[in-house]
Amino acid sequence: MSHLYQTLATDIVKQIENGHYRPGDKLPGIRAISRQRNVSIATTQSAFRVLEDDGWVDVRPRSGFYVRARQTVSPIVAAAQSDPKPSNVTGQDMALSLIKAANKHHILQLGAAVPDLSFLPVQPISQATSQAQKRFGDRALSYEMPPGALELRRQIARRMGEAGCAVSSEEIVITSGCQEALTIALKAVTKAGDIVAIESPTFYGLLQVIESLGLEALEIPVDPQTGMSLDALKLALERWPIKACVVVANCSNPLGYTMPDESKLALTSLLTEHNVPLIEDDVYGDLSFDKHRPALCRSLAPQADIIYCSSFSKTLSPGLRVGWIAAGKHLARVEYLKYVSNIASATLPQLTVAHFLESGRYDRYLRQARGQYARAVSRMTDAVLRYFPEGTRVSQPRGGFVIWVELPCAINTFELAQLALGQGISIAPGPIFSAKQKFKNAMRLSCACKWDEKVEKGLAWLGARIEHMQLSK
């Protein structure tokens, strides 16, 4: 027997499906609906909770409930390559030139995966900074030698424990962001010339690390919903002497998938069978839109050889540069590599984050941030579908704040990115997400920007330009 709140939720869904309420529309408030439908406030609240959980509406604090963009999007298609071969990383100079050119104040930042400050807890963090300075005094100005501030490592170990991954604070090494964590993790298990298996497409920062360490990348195709193709990885492990595998299993960048637990488990067993360490980059895990935080590969396979890397760059602030490694059996080497890399990470940011985490405000902030990012993603998706040519495919991320957009025609998005920069718009073109510059007709857009007329105009310009490039083919 269906409950009253379920009937009410179903009725509201029907109204959305019939177009009575469109994506972005504000729904009548809880009191108004309970009056109209002659049901209690509690029943209406339960109905809205169902709508929110099922992804039909978003809550905007102190504003109300808004219809989420229902993605009548054709989902993006998985790469077809099934027999990958290792290669040097090329084309990252072009990524760097674009990033440098785009890093100017007046540019509309849709390229870099850096949240606008309006998404970050700026005030609480600056408060925590002065409190940490007072609390820790001169210590805040001294070296905090590897493995890093104990207060912070304790908090990180506690949080990882709450996410189902029992690690000791002794095993954690603080780094300057997740990028340094990845660099150290790769240095710990490879040497120049070695082959590293990676997702394709992958985060271009990882490609830059691979290139700078003289490693070869073996791009493994991914399924846009479930992540790395384990069949392709198996084949690659049988054919090539792979020395490490790097995966962003939760809310990946750029596609936004979260690998199901069974795939994470299958991945770790496959790697264990071949004696290959997994480097798990979980920088977006806390920003999942799912009801529960997705599991870590490390929590599902605690005995496996996994180096876990993460940071607070996507949640608290990229400028704090606070990241970490849970190094497993590579602890001694990781600690040494951190030391020779830059002696120590800055002390005050470590103590600030420790202080902020101890205050218990992080979870409250995360709840709000996840909602804010989910709304930003649905608003951007909706606008892309409105402005870009018919047939454009958009990813449906399970968390984080980037979307991957595939154009319906063979347009080189690197050319598009250069033209767009001339118009004051930065996008991340598809080829920079591949060692071999694949994905020429794709781009990644960051949704965590301040939404205003400039964004609408920028997207409209991009859509018109793509149409134009398509027609002149």
Shortest-Cβ-distance residue relative to ligand PLP = 177
* 3-class SS letters over the chain: CCCHHHHHHHHHHHHHHCCCCCCCCECCCHHHHHHHHCCCHHHHHHHHHHHHHCCCEEEECCCEEEECCCCCCECCCCCCCCCCCEECCCCHHHHHHHHHHHCCCCCEECCCCCCCHHHCCHHHHHHHHHHHHHHHHHHHHCCCCCCCCHHHHHHHHHHHHHCCCCCCHHHEEEECHHHHHHHHHHHHHCCCCCEEEEEECCCHHHHHHHHHCCCEEEEEEEECCCEECHHHHHHHHHHCCEEEEEECCCCCCCCCCCCCHHHHHHHHHHHHHCCCCEEEECCCHHHECCCCCCCCHHHHCCCCCEEEEEECCCCCCHHHCCEEEECHHHHHHHHHHHHHHHCCCCHHHHHHHHHHHHCCHHHHHHHHHHHHHHHHHHHHHHHHHHHCCCCCEECCCCECCEEEEECCCCCCHHHHHHHHHHCCEECEEHHHHCCCCCCCCEEEEECCCCCCHHHHHHHHHHHHHHHHHHHCC
The answer to the question of residue 102 lying near ligand PLP (CB under 6 A) is no
Stretch of residues binding ligand PLP (CB under 6 A), selected from 125-133, 171-179, 223-231, 420-428: 171-179
Out of 23, 147, 205, 277, the residue judged to bind ligand PLP by CB under 6 A = 205
Out of 92, 190, 311, 395, the residue judged to bind ligand PLP by CB under 6 A = 311
The answer to the question of residue 283 lying near ligand PLP (CB under 6 A) is yes
Out of 144, 151, 199, 281, the residue judged to bind ligand PLP by CB under 6 A = 281
Query: With respect to ligand PLP, which residue has the nearer C-beta, 67 or 113?
Result: 113
Q: What is the largest CA-CA distance in the chain?
A: 70
Query: With respect to ligand PLP, which residue has the nearer C-beta, 23 or 115?
Result: 115
Q: At its nearest, how many Å lie between ligand PLP and the CB of residue 342? A: 13
Query: With respect to ligand PLP, which residue has the nearer C-beta, 21 or 119?
Result: 119
Out of 84, 148, 177, 227, the residue judged to bind ligand PLP by CB under 6 A = 177
Query: With respect to ligand PLP, which residue has the nearer C-beta, 50 or 442?
Result: 442
The answer to the question of residue 318 lying near ligand PLP (CB under 6 A) is yes
Determine the residue type at 302: P
Q: At its nearest, how many Å lie between ligand PLP and the CB of residue 337? A: 16
The answer to the question of residue 313 lying near ligand PLP (CB under 6 A) is yes
Query: With respect to ligand PLP, which residue has the nearer C-beta, 68 or 338?
Result: 338
Structure tokens at 75: 């989902």
Q: At its nearest, how many Å lie between ligand PLP and the CB of residue 179? A: 3
User: Are the C-beta atoms of residues 163 and 293 closer than 8 Å to each other?
Assistant: yes
Query: With respect to ligand PLP, which residue has the nearer C-beta, 16 or 110?
Result: 110
Out of 248, 327, 385, 425, the residue judged to bind ligand PLP by CB under 6 A = 248
Cα–Cα dist 298/265, whole Å: 9
Stretch of residues binding ligand PLP (CB under 6 A), selected from 12-20, 115-123, 175-183, 211-219: 175-183
Q: At its nearest, how many Å lie between ligand PLP and the CB of residue 31? A: 42
The answer to the question of residue 179 lying near ligand PLP (CB under 6 A) is yes
The answer to the question of residue 253 lying near ligand PLP (CB under 6 A) is yes
Structure tokens at 224: 């846009």
The answer to the question of residue 323 lying near ligand PLP (CB under 6 A) is yes
Stretch of residues binding ligand PLP (CB under 6 A), selected from 15-23, 56-64, 122-130, 176-184: 176-184
The answer to the question of residue 148 lying near ligand PLP (CB under 6 A) is no
Out of 113, 120, 173, 197, the residue judged to bind ligand PLP by CB under 6 A = 113
Stretch of residues binding ligand PLP (CB under 6 A), selected from 72-80, 117-125, 173-181, 457-465: 173-181
Query: With respect to ligand PLP, which residue has the nearer C-beta, 246 or 420?
Result: 246
Binding residues for ligand PLP, rule: CB under 6 A, are: 113, 177-179, 203, 205, 248, 253, 281, 283, 311, 313, 318, 323
